[in-house]
Every structure is written in structure tokens, then in C-alpha cells.
Amino acid sequence: MKGRAPEVRVISIGTLAAHPLWDEKGPARTGHATTTLVRSGERVILIDPGLPDRAAVARLFERTGLRPEAITHVFLTSFRPDVFRGILAFEKAKWWVSQEEREQVGVPLVSRLQEAAAAGDTELKAALELDVGILKRCEPAPDELAPHVSLFPLHGMTPGLTGVLVAMPTSGGQNGATVLVAGDAVPTVEHLERGMVLSSAADVAKARESFGEAVEIADIIVPGRDNMVVNPVKGRGR
């Protein structure tokens, strides 16, 4: 439907391999990103398919009744293995990542591949070749992904991490809510409530700045590793 209003739905709730605010010092589980579906106009956009292929497909059907071929686009908030783990299940879709993330990730990734090849590490070489192939297929995302759906740069956790901002329709004369799919810029509800970012950020200062921009603009946030939540910071009038 061409005039369809935006819709945002969490497909799979992600998790950190080790949650620092749960006093976990090392990996306690397999980390994977929260996967979100955004529908607007004629576009059906899957954001961060972090589960393995079969699980991603199963969760999509459970939550929406959709099959992989219904997805028109896949957007990655960052280019990390536990963010794009299930992307190959959506072969018919166009794949997007931000231009800056694509550029910043590409050179180090190719260097690691060359090092693995030189060292004769065939297992690592094969894994990196797959990652390089995925990155090559990812096109730079446009500023507007769909009607009322736009990119929102949140650099810091990774050099080009970029969220997705959805402007929901107005109702009864009231302005519609803004929903921000934040990726790892806002990792969990606990991080949101405590105003914290992950210490593993590529640039911690920039990550904190991006975190501040996220909580300032969004009424509802989809964290990178948690369920959708009403922004408690904005609710307190900060």
C-alpha cells in the first residue's frame, strides 16, 4: 500500500554476550542484535538480523506472518557479525549500511583477510571472505529509507553506527511519537536508565555524545540488545 503509515515492530529481542551492568565479566551467552521491522509505504525494512538464518526467518514469521521474500530492504545499524548474522536469509532484498560505516569497516576487514591468508588460517580466511562479500553487497543507505523513515547518525560505538528514526503519524491533533531504532548506541534498558554507553566503543566520547542525541530526540527507543521502551529520560523532561 503506497500510503501506508509507518509501523515499527520488534522481531527478536537481542542480548549482550556479557552484560556489564549485571556484573558479568566475560561472555555468558551468544550475543545478537535486536531485530526490528519497519514498514512504510511500499517498503518492508528489516533492521539488524542478528540471529542465525533459520532463527531469523522463524521469528519473522512468528511476529508478522511474513516470509523472507516479503522483505524489500535490510538495514544494518553497524557492520558487526552479531548484527548481520542472519542476512543471507534475505537474498532478494536490497542491503543497506551507512556510507561512513561501510568506508570505515572496509579497509581493516580486507587487511585482516590478507593477514589470515598469509598466516594460512583457512578457517578465519573463509569467515572473513564471507564478511567481505556481505559488505561489498551492502549499498550506502540513502538519508530517507522510506516515507517518514530516515537515518539518524549515532557514531561512536562503531565509526559509522547509524540509527533509524521513524516519525509516527499524528493523532487527534497531537504530534506523533518519534521512534528511534538505536542499535548499540543505546545497548540495553539498563544503559538507557543509567545514561551509560559500552566501554568497548571505538570512540567513547563520541558514543556518549550520540547517546545524548538519542535520548533527546526519541520518545520511544529500540535498544541494540533489548526490547522497545518508552524513553524514561525524555519522560522526565530532561
Q: What is the pLDDT along the chain (238 residues), one digit of tens a residue?
A: 455 789 999 999 999 999 999 999 899 999 999 999 999 999 999 999 999 999 999 999 999 999 999 999 999 999 999 999 999 999 999 999 999 999 999 999 999 999 999 999 999 999 999 999 999 999 999 999 999 999 999 999 999 999 999 998 876 555 689 999 999 999 999 999 999 999 999 999 999 999 999 999 999 999 999 999 999 987 554 4
CA pair distance 201, 161, nearest whole angstrom:
11
Flag whether 2 is in a domain. Answer: no
The letter for the amino acid at 9 is R
Range of the domain at 29: 7-235
- Does the model's pTM come out above 0.85? yes
Flag whether 144 is in a domain. Answer: yes
Q: Structurally, how many domains does the chain consist of?
A: 1
Flag whether 54 is in a domain. Answer: yes
Flag whether 214 is in a domain. Answer: yes
Flag whether 93 is in a domain. Answer: yes
Beta bridge partners of 28: none
Flag whether 220 is in a domain. Answer: yes
Flag whether 30 is in a domain. Answer: yes
CA pair distance 180, 220, nearest whole angstrom:
6
Flag whether 171 is in a domain. Answer: yes
Using CA atoms, how far residue 52 sits from 55, 81, 83, 142, in Å, is 5, 10, 10, 27
Using CA atoms, how far residue 59 sits from 12, 32, 50, 55, 214, in Å, is 7, 14, 11, 6, 27
CA pair distance 8, 227, nearest whole angstrom:
12
Instruction: Check which CATH number belongs to the domain holding 82 and give it.
Output: 3.60.15.10
